[in-house]
Structure 1
Amino acid sequence: MTDVEHVSDPVGQVDALVAAVDPGLSSPGVDNRDVVLVTGPWLAGSTGLIAALRERLPEHQFVEADEVKAADAPAAVVFVVSAVAPIAESDCALIDLAAQHTDLVIGAVSKIDVHRNWRDVLAEDRTRLAAHAERYRDVSWVGVAAAPDLGESNVDDLVELLRTRLADVDTKRRNRLRAWESRLHTVMSRYDKDGAGGDRKARVTALRERREEVLRERRVSKSERTIALRSQIQQAKVQLAYFARNRCTSVRSELQEDASSMTRRRLRDFEGYVGTRVVEVVDEVEAGVTKHLTDMATELGLTPPETPAPSEPPAFAPPPLKSRRLETRLMMVLGAGFGLGVALGVSRLFAGLAPGLTIAGLVAGGVIGLVLTVWVVSMRGLLNDRVTLDRWVGVVIGLLQGFLEERVATRVVVAEAALTADVARRDEAEAEAATAAVTEIDAELREHAVATARAAALRDRRLPPLQKALDIVRAELDTRQGQ
């Protein structure tokens, strides 16, 4: 390559050099601008330096960072740092961003008029920047005082350096080479990232976690619902059986108390009263069972079981109050003897008090004896009836308790079957939903796997020519830099 060709179109020559390796690489995708970017950390003094440079070099255009787009490639970058302290890692990152498409970088240490140790800071800046990246090892550094407190500005060294470097015929070529290096490095990084699935890893990881979560929720939900139903059914059996026994015990006590104070007038109605109370207890237990099972199903989020038709109370025999003939005769004999004894005692009492009233005493004694005989026989019969009713109440309530316990057990079993079927239906529906969700996730995972495989194949195909082009560009940069 002759110097004439190099000077005539250095940008085209660099593009042709890269295109010779890979014809698909026609342009680095940047917009070359004949401007000088002056930038630096906050309060470094870049604004004052721009004003001074515009005054000293009116033939060149100086801009700040907000005037340059991401795809713009300035002709030079002047990076301004304060002499207060050496540059930090964040400052190095700022240089990388500003000079990603530009090779000509000049470091300027500002405010040297107020910091006597600025040369030490400059030397440290040069060392740190060179350690940050190999491309900065030959960066030129100068000290400036663009807006000193006393005297005129001191930017002579920077102005002279800019004039010399911007007038160099090789600057445009090196800037173009640097733009190509940045472009090739970016493209290769993107191919590497796509081939490794780096941009998909977060999504793939999230999908796998979601898949595990769906399956785990399915297993946990099924186990929790089954365990909860089993536990509630067992509690219902115990609680409802206790409720039925408690109601029977309460009614037994109530009816036995009534039987212990029974009178002749109420004797005939007692059987009907007991039947009414039995029906009421059956209804109460049925209602209690229905409410308990409904509340249990609602708490579990299931459909309450259907309420069966009302059950008929158990049939029971009437109280055995009419089969006491022999006992009645015996009581009449005993009562007559008791009454006769009372009558003789009364007649003697009258005879001892007044012998003339012997006949009246016999009559009065007979009447009193007869009354006492009737009363004893009657009371003995009533007491016997009360005992009989008490026993009969015990038998009736025993039958009622057995009936209710069987009824409770039957209804709980029926409810368990209905609720278990409902749980099975819900489990099946959840299983279908979980399967659909897992299928959808698996499909997306396969899509990501296929896309990653395609990107890896494209990476393997495109990286060799890109790497070759990058090696040529870097060789050109190193060759020209060493000259």
Structure 2
Amino acid sequence: MTSDIPAEVARTREALTTLLARLDPDAADRAAAPPPPARPTVVLVGAPGRGRGELLAALLGLDTVPTHDPDGAVRSTYERLPVPLLEELDLVVPPRPADPGTWPVDGATAALVLADAAAPLGIEELDALARAADRVDTVVFALTRTEAHRGWRTVLEADRALVAGHVPRLADAPWFPVAAALAQRAARADAAAAEALRRRSGLAALQRELHRLVARRRRMLAEANALRLLAGALDGVAARAEATRAALRAPAGGDLARRRDELLAARSALRRDHHTRWRADLAAARVATTDDLAARVRALGVAVRARIDDADRAGLAAIPRELAGEVETLAAEVVAGLGARLQALVAATLADLVPAGELPALRVADLGEPALVPAPRTRPAEDRLLVVAGASGGLGLSRLALLPLLAVPIAPAALGVALVPVSVGLGLGAAGWVARARRLAADRAHLRQWSVEALAEVRGDLERVLADALIATEREVTLALDAALEDRARDLDDALAAVRHAGADRAEADRAAARTAGEAREGRDRAETLLRRLAELRDRVDVPADVPEPHPRPAPAT
């Protein structure tokens, strides 16, 4: 009876939760269902570049994507947007997670998975879909951008086959070819053309299916999601129990002793090999980063000194500001290069121990404010003395220039008086020219010395930042490496225990593992049976054909 389904679901959930907690407490914690949303929620997921925001806007009849929440998600509710489709369900575009192979579906009532009509689904998308399908029961597919690809029907058939092979339970999941761009064009067309464009966009069928599957079924779908989590966890328990049975059924005698020796050797070499490789790779990264920084700073110093030698007074005044900008760019490139190098190093170090989604996130320390380049110091008194001495020399040159005239044998007194203005003029001109030349030379020498000192200070600051980043990375990755090695060591210990147990009481251990596998499979089958009944019940209940769609936007005035 339909009225008995809720009570049966509640009983089954309680029984399976108790069974899972007894068989594997850790798996029971991981399979705990998140609290259901207050309203039915459909989450739009898919690989980057699949047009989630564009499709959301088209479903709601909007020109642009709604505003993001502070956490980066786009939550479309009836309170925010009075659109008929949202009267009984919410649409959410979650923020992109750090791991592109994980789609955030926890807590959603159903998932709308987007695929691109340009090419079939890739292996990364299929793996992400398989993980998401273990956490949400109801999945709908949308093949986007069909208006741009004539061969979308071939891609659709290929996607169906790929999904059926990778996630068999979704083989019959509904697919909807849609073209959000046509819906946007409909807003700018006349009434007849707009109606044709909306029909070709395929959005109405997708809107009706979302309403049919999700609206007024929040409790049913939330219970299905909880059962889906329990079924996946019990399936994992059964697989691990079968693996234990396979180890117990390994040949005894010489083969068993050899297996034990191999496990013991792997256990003893586990930490030594990984830590040795990690420290060697980190030391190589430290040397490479230091060499890169030194080469960049040297090249920048050569370029700055060449500009100083060729610059006039205005060019000299601009050099400190230009150098500050160049140092900022250099620092950003060095820090970004170190971050990329460290991320690749961490991935290579932990690749065989930690899943890609659980790798530690690295962030090189910020350089901070103010700028790294120190301001030029005031010129020393010696430079001013050199300028004054140059001016005095210029006056002396004027007197030397007039000595031949003073030797003329005509009224030397009168001639001396007449030549005083000429002497003064020549002296002032020569003094000014010499003073300017000496000042320019002094400015260049001062800036050359300042650039050497400034770049040395910049290099020291950047070496400190890089050293801090390397120290933080070494600490963080070493902790992650130790934790991963502990997990691997426990696995080896479990295998050793199984081998030793096999020699002592293989039959009893095999019977225990068989009981665990049997109970887990029985619980999984019970959950799957109930999930099929829920799906049949859901599919028997249809909504009227005139499900409200977003109000068509009026065509712009002409």
Task: Name which one, 1 or 2, has greater alpha-carbon Rg.
Answer: 1
Q: TM-score range by the shorter chain?
A: 0.3 to 0.5
> Structure 1 length as normaliser, TM-score?
0.45
Higher relative contact order (CA 8 A, sep 6+): 2
> Structure 2 length as normaliser, TM-score?
0.40
